[in-house]
Amino acid sequence: MSTVQSVPVPQVLLEAGRRRTFAVISHPDAGKSTLTEALALHARAITSAGAVHAKGDRRGVTSDWMELERERGISVTSAALQFGYRDHVMNLVDTPGHADFSEDTYRVLAAVDCAIMLVDAAKGLEEQTRKLFAVCRHRGVPVITFINKWDRRGRDALTLLEDIETHLGITPVPVVWPVGNAGNLRGLVEAGNTEQMLRYTKVPAGTHAALEEQLTSEKAAEQEGEAWTTALEELELVLSSGPGYDQEAFEAGKISPVFFGAALTNIGVKPLLDAVVDLAPAPGPRPLAKGGSREVGEEFSGLVFKIQANMDPAHRDRIAFVRVCSGVFERGMHVTRAASGRSFATKYAHTVFGAERTVVDTAYPGDVVGLINASALRVGDTLYTGKKTEFPPLPAFAPEYFAVARPKDISRSKQFRKGVAQLDEEGVIQVLVSDRRGDQAPVMAAVGPMQFDVILHRMEHEFSSPIALDQLSYRLARITDADGAAALAKARLTNGEVLTRRSDDVLLALFADKWHLNAFQRAQPDVLLQPLIATAD
Q: State the pLDDT at residue 52.
A: 36
130 Cβ neighbours under 8 A, 6+ residues apart: 167, 168
What's the whole-number average pLDDT of the chain? 85
Q: Is the pLDDT of residue 57 over 50?
A: no
Give 77-133 pLDDT, tens digit per residue: 446 788 899 999 999 987 765 555 566 777 888 899 999 999 999 999 988 888 888
CA angle 479, 480, 482 (to 5 degrees): 150
In the chain, ranges of CATH 3.30.70.3280 domains: 401-531
Domain 401-531 CATH assignment equals 3.30.70.3280: yes
Which amino acid would we find at residue 206?
G
| Range(s) of the chain covered by CATH 3.40.50.300 | 19-279, 286-384
SS3 content of the chain, % helix, strand, coil (to 5): 30, 30, 40
CATH 3.40.50.300 fits 286-384, yes or no: yes
Give the mean pLDDT of 429-442: 87
Fold that domain 19-279 belongs to in CATH: Rossmann fold (3.40.50)
Closest CA to 371 of 404, 323, 406: 323
Does residue 268 register a pLDDT over 70? yes
Q: Which of 123-127, 428-432, 460-464, 491-495 has the lowest mean pLDDT?
A: 491-495
Would you say 94 is a known binding-site residue? yes
97 labeled part of a ligand binding site? yes
C-alpha to C-alpha distances, 84 to 345, 346, 349, nearest whole angstrom: 28, 25, 19
The pTM of the full predicted model, rounded to 2 decimals, is 0.82
pLDDT computed for residue 447 by the predictor: 84
SS3 assignment, position 358: strand
SS3 string, 248-297, reads HHHHCCCEEEEEECECCCCECHHHHHHHHHHHCCCCCCEECCCCCEECCC
Q: Round to whole Å and give the CA distance between 420 and 428.
A: 10
Checking if the pLDDT of 413 tops 70, the result is yes
